[in-house]
Amino acid sequence: MRVAFLAFFVVLIAASTGFAAPPRETPEEREVAATFDAARSALAEKRGSAVIPLLSRNSVKALESVREAARQPGDAPLQRLEPAERFAAMGLRRYLGPAELRRMSVGDIANYALAAGWLGPNIIARSGLGPVRVKGDRASGLLMVDNRPALVPADFVREGGAWRIDLASVFTFGSQMLKGFAAMSGKDETAYIADLLDRLPAKPGAMKTR
């Protein structure tokens, strides 16, 4: 697991140039895929802030809550977060100073994360979007990693007539995983996350995937 602020969704929205995407049968499927492709291009060009407008309102709200908890002192703001968001907030505190957290927006942090190599280029190159199903204002695509189905789908929601990437399932899955690992370790979730972060490299640049 990685500390990067985008670690819970970069894999979700990154696509491989070598992955052969299936044909998109309907205009809606093509619109969903276009949102995915726009996010892929922004990530490949290390324009993290350009991904933020492609996220659903609730997804941006969740990321803002992570940033807000990270910039506030003490443990109380962290305890109000679910484990996945808490992991991200504690990671931000580890790698960014208080002044940086006060100054930087979510988009700024996204840019910094990509520039610092918190996720290496191979993370992006190994993923792709498979078949897409659209139902009303919701859509879900099969996320492929190394040409195998991932555990979490790529979800989308239509807002204001445009398709946006929805990170709810990513955060839910991450929280469930952290809760399970913490229970198996016999520690509470915050202590388990702290131990997990302590095992990671001191410098985010050392976390690149090779």
* C-beta separation of 192 from 178 below 8 A: yes
pLDDT > 90? residue 1? no
Task: Please state the three-class secondary structure of the chain as a single string.
Answer: CCCCCCCCCHHHHCCCCCCCCCCCCCHHHHHHHHHHHHHHHHHHCCCHHHCHHHECHHHHHHHHHHHHHHHCCCCHHHHCCCHHHHHHHHHHHHHCCHHHHHHCCHHHHHHHHHHCCCCCHHHHHCEEEEEEEEECCEEEEEEEECCEECCCCEEEEEECCEEEEECHHHHHHHHHHHHHHHHHHCCCHHHHHHHHHHCCCCCHHHHCCC
CA–CA gap between residue 168 and residue 156 (Å, rounded): 10
How much is the pTM?
0.81
The angle formed by the CA atoms of residues 140, 143 and 146, to the nearest 5 degrees, is 170
Percentage above 90 pLDDT, the chain: 52
Task: Please give the residue that has the higher pLDDT: either 167 or 10.
Answer: 167
The angle formed by the CA atoms of residues 15, 19 and 23, to the nearest 5 degrees, is 95
Read off the tokens for 78. 């962290």
Hey, which of 18-27, 32-41, 157-166 has the most confident mean pLDDT?
A: 157-166
Q: What is the pLDDT of residues 161-191, one digit of tens each?
A: 999 999 998 899 999 999 999 999 999 999 9
CA–CA gap between residue 22 and residue 188 (Å, rounded): 43
CA–CA gap between residue 165 and residue 148 (Å, rounded): 21
Instruction: Return the domain boundaries, the chain.
Output: 10-200
Q: What is the pLDDT of residues 132-167, one digit of tens each?
A: 999 999 999 988 777 777 778 889 999 999 999 999
- Once rounded to an integer, what is the mean pLDDT over residues 42-71? 92
- Once rounded to an integer, what is the mean pLDDT over residues 51-67? 94
